[in-house]
Amino acid sequence: MIKTIDKELFLAELEKIVGSKSVLKTKWSMESYCKGWRYGEGEAIAVAKPSTLLQIWKILQVCLDNNVIVIMQAANTGLTGGSTPYGYDYDRPILVINTMLIDDIHIIDDGKQIVGFPGSTLFELENKLENYNRDPHSVIGSSCVGASIVGGVCNNSGGALVKRGPAYTELSLFAQINSEGTLVLVNNLGIELGDGPVEILTNLQNHNYSNDSIQYPNKLASDNKYQKQVRDINSSTPARFNADGRRLHEASGCAGKIAVLAVRLDTYPTSNRSQVFYLGTNSTKILGKMRREILSKFKHLPTSGEYFHRDCYDAAKKYCKDTFVVIDKLGPSYIPKLFELKRNVDRIAEKFKILPNKFSDRIMQFFSNIWPNHLPKRMEEYRNNYEHHWVVEMSDEGIEEAKEYFEKFFAENEGSFFMCTEQEAKKAILHRFVIASATPRFFAINQKEVGGLMSLDIALPRNEKAWFEVLPPEVDNLIEMKLYYGHLFCHVMHHNYVVKKGVDVEKLQKRLLKTYDKRGAEYPAEHNVGHEYFAKPALSEFYKKLDPTNSFNPGIGGTSKQKHWK
Q: Band of the pLDDT at 205, cuts 50, 70, 90?
A: very high
186 Cβ contact partners less than 8 Å away, ≥ 6 residues apart: 173, 174, 175, 176, 250
CA distance 455 to 460: 15
Tell me the per-residue pLDDT of 84-114, one tens digit each, with 9 for 90 and over.
Answer: 999 999 999 999 999 999 999 999 999 999 9
Q: What number is the average pLDDT over the span 485-489?
A: 97
Q: Are 432 and 306 in contact (CB under 8 A)?
A: yes
Better-predicted residue by pLDDT, 490 or 139: 490
Give the mean model confidence (pLDDT) for residues 221-236.
96
Please answer whether residues 308 and 392 qualify as being in contact, where contact means their C-beta atoms are separated by less than 8 angstroms.
Answer: no
* Residue 524 preceded by cis peptide, ω within 30: yes
CA distance 147 to 119: 9
Q: Give bridge partners of residue 116 from the DSSP assignment.
A: 105, 263
As a whole number of angstroms, the distance between CA 165 and CA 150 comes to: 16
Phi-psi sector, 412: left (phi>0), alpha (psi -120 to 50), beta: alpha
Query: What's the pLDDT at 140?
Result: 55
| Alpha-carbon torsion angle 489, 414, 316, 403, nearest 10 | 60
Distance in angstroms (rounded) separating the CA atoms of residues 363 and 357: 11
* Measured CA distances, 260 to 9, 71, 211, 528 (Å): 27, 11, 23, 17
Cross-strand bridge partners of residue 278: 391, 418
Segment 30-50, tens digit of pLDDT: 988 998 877 889 999 999 999
The yes-or-no verdict on residue 296 having pLDDT over 80 is yes
Arithmetic mean of pLDDT, 457-464: 97
Dihedral angle computed from the Cα positions of residues 112, 117, 119 and 122, in that order, rounded to the nearest 10 degrees? 10
Note the pLDDT tens digit of each residue in 346-387.
Answer: 777 777 777 777 888 888 888 888 899 999 999 999 999 999
CA 213 to centroid of chain Cα atoms: 32
Distances (CA, A) of 169 to 55, 93, 132, 270, 538: 25, 32, 21, 20, 19
The 113-116 sheet, strands edge to edge? 105-108, 113-116, 259-266, 172-177, 183-188
Neighbours of 102 (CB within 10 A): 22
- Chain segment 411-448, per-residue pLDDT in tens: 999 999 999 999 999 999 999 989 988 999 999 899 99
Q: Hey, what amino acid is at 415? A: G
CA pair distance 149, 320, nearest whole angstrom: 25
What is the Cα–Cα distance from 195 to 70, expressed in whole angstroms? 25
CA distance 512 to 208: 53
- Percent residues over pLDDT 90 in the chain: 82
pLDDT at residue 2 greater than cutoff 60: no
- pTM of the predicted structure, to 2 decimals: 0.93
For the stretch 124-170, pLDDT in tens is 999 999 999 999 988 755 444 568 999 999 998 877 899 999 999 99
User: Which residue type, as a one-letter code, is found at position 381?
Assistant: E
Q: How many CA atoms lie within 13 A of 167 on its CB side?
A: 33
Give the least confident one: 97-111, 204-218, 397-411, 441-455: 441-455
For residues 158 and 265, give the distance between their C-alpha atoms in angstroms, rounded to a whole number: 13
Q: Which residues contact 515 (CB under 8 A, 6 or more apart)?
A: none
Q: Any idea of the CA torsion for 242, 562, 76, 48, to the nearest 10 degrees?
A: -140
What residue type is 362 in one-letter code?
A: R
Cα 402 to Cα 56, 61, 279, 399: the distances in Å are 49, 56, 12, 5
- Beta carbons within 10 angstroms of residue 234's beta carbon: 9
Per DSSP, 361 falls in state: H
Q: CA-to-CA distance for 329 and 327, rounded, in angstroms?
A: 6
What SS3 class is residue 500? strand
